[in-house]
Structure formats: C-alpha cells, structure tokens
Chains A and B, each alone.
Chain A
C-alpha cells in the first residue's frame, strides 16, 4: 500500500473479502470450542475480545494494527451469530420466540439511528462501540452466572462440594474482568 500519489484508492474488494474470511474462521472456531465449553462462557470471551479489538482500533496510530484489529473483530462477529443463536434458543420461550426476537431489534435501531444522526468522528464512534461492548461483556457475565445457577436448579439440588467448585470457577473470571 505504499503510494506517493494524492488520491489513494482503497482495494475495497480485498478488504471486504478478508473480513468475510475472518468471519468464516470465527464460525469454524466456534464449532471447535462448543464441543468442550458452554455457550454462555464462549459468549463472554467473544464479547471481551470484541471490546478489546475495538479499543485497539480506536486508540491505535498505525493503519496496519487497526486493520489487524478489525480482522479480529470480524472473527468475533463470525462467532457471535452461532453463539447468540444457541443462547437465545435456550433462554427464550418457544411460543413467543419470533416476537421477542423482533423486540430485540428495537434498541439496535435506536443505536444505529444515534450513530447516523450524530456527527461523530470515526475515532469517537469506535470508542463508543468499545464502551457498548464492554457493557455487553459485563451483562453477559451476569447472565452466565444466572444461567449456571438456573442449570444447577434444573439438574437437582447440588451438593455442597459442587457448589463450592462452581464458586471457585466463577471467582477467577470476575478477577480478570476487574483488571
């Protein structure tokens, strides 16, 4: 991409194809991860890495680093659809499913309208995205804890030892998120 001319034409086709290949890689990676881990746990990882990559794009000074971070974000997007589909499939009740999915689109539309109507610089909009994804990661950690309690209740009353094991598993995750 070395150029001395004043009009720089971006190879948008190559850029778009690179993003889509990262999406494909992300969805394949998910199908490997889902064999050993639960969907809620994978979702925390996906949202956290997405927030980190948006932060890198927002605060980086080099185009190559920003492009690499965008590729990482596209991998997260590729993992997002299967993991959310699986999670929503187990949380949302069957008879109201389509209506609830439509209700979920409403805040999304408000966010998109906000980003279109306000005149943010690209850097500011990436910072906003990073903030939203960080909030989403925190909410997902809350949801993961609630669902693991719910799954325990479905499996039957857990013994004291099992409950302590679960607490030990959850505690390191909260320590990491505070850092």
Chain B
C-alpha cells in the first residue's frame, strides 16, 4: 500500500515538475520559443526509444531466475528483477539531475495575492489556492486543462482495454476457424 501511495505521488510530480522545469530553463537560457516545441518533440522521441529498450530489458530480467523467499516478507528474483533494475535507474537519474541541472523556482513575482500567516511567510496551500483561482477565472487555462485531462484519461483507459479487445478479436477468429 505504501508503495502504491508513493508511486502515485511520484507520478503526479513526474507529469508536472519536469515540464515546468524545462520551460523555465528554456527561458533562462534565452532560447526562442520555436525551439521549445523541438525540445518537447525530442523528449517524446527519446521517451519512446527508452520505453522500447526498457521493455526488452524487463522481459529478459523477469525470465532470468525464479522468485525465491529470503526472509519473512522479503523475496528476490523472478518478477521482482525489473523493479530492482528500475530502482537503480531512478537513483542514477536522481543523482545526475541533482548534480548536472540548475535549480530554478519558476517564480516571476512572489508578493502578489498570498495571504501570510502573520509572520511574513506564505501559507503552504497558497500555491494551490492561487492556481485554482487562476484556472477558474481564465477560460483559456480551464479549456486547456479539460482537453489534456480528457486525452490523457482516454489514453490510460485505452491502453488498459486494448490488450483485452485484441484478445477478444483473436478469440473471435479462433471461433470462426473451428466452425469452418
């Protein structure tokens, strides 16, 4: 359960923070906006290549050895190998990002609209509150959010169902074969 909870938090950060960092780093380096599209395109391209390689490695690793128990609840081998490889990859990625990437906070002004708690520090929920107000006030931002939610939602549920529907089609074909 704890793993699923942390995984959910990580997924949420994955889809928001990297894009925000990239856009800010682009404007810090004074690169033109046209090239931002090219950066995103290259990122998607590299993402697909790494997904293919990762799928091959995970397949090989999962069939490398059988799952055995070490102590009470600790197991190793079998299906757990890809997770261990992912752990190594993520730690390496984190160390590289921490050392090679420049930090930026993405603020342009921090004084507007934040109610502080009496000591001059903004509250922890101010970021989300301001974001929610900005989203509901501006129709462009709201539309953008709905569009991306609809597409990503149908993408996720489509990927879940596509294996089931292809199996269903193949069963249909097998049935016709046995009829003839």
Give the interface of A toward B (CB within 8 A).
1-6, 8, 10, 12-13, 15-17, 20-21, 23-24, 26-28, 30-31, 34, 39, 43, 47, 50, 54, 57, 62-63, 66-67, 70, 73, 77-78, 80-108, 111-112, 115, 122-123, 125-126, 128-129, 132-133, 135-136, 139-140, 142-143, 146-147, 150
Contacts and interface: CB of A to CB of B under 8 A. Distances in A.
Contacts of A26: 44
Contacts of A63: 166, 169-170, 172-173
Contact of B143 (A82, A99, A122, A139): A139
B109 A27 contact: no
Given A47-B151, A86-B40, A97-B106, A28 B12 contact: no
B12 A88 contact: no
B51 A20 contact: yes
A105 B56 contact: no
A111 B153 CA distance: 6
Contacts, number: 251
Given A8-B174, A101-B16, A103-B132, A129 B154 contact: yes
B31 to A, nearest CB: 12
B131 interface: yes
A105 B48 contact: no
A4 to B, nearest CB: 6
A101 B152 CA distance: 13
A145 B24 CA distance: 27
Contact of A17 (B55, B109, B152, B172): B55
Kindly state the interface size class of chain B when it binds its partner. 35 or more
A132 B140 contact: no
Contact of B23 (A89, A135, A143): A89
A101 B20 contact: yes
B174 to A, nearest CB: 6
Given A4-B177, A98-B106, A104 B145 contact: yes
A86 B36 contact: yes
Given A91-B141, A100-B134, A143-B147, A105 B16 contact: yes
B151 A70 contact: no
A92 B132 contact: no
Nearest to A73: B158
Interface in B34-49: 34, 36-38, 40-45, 47-49
Contacts of A89: 19, 23, 33, 36
B95 interface: no
A112 to B, nearest CB: 5
A86 B17 CA distance: 15
B122 to A, nearest CB: 12
Given A82-B41, A125-B157, A129-B157, A139 B131 contact: no
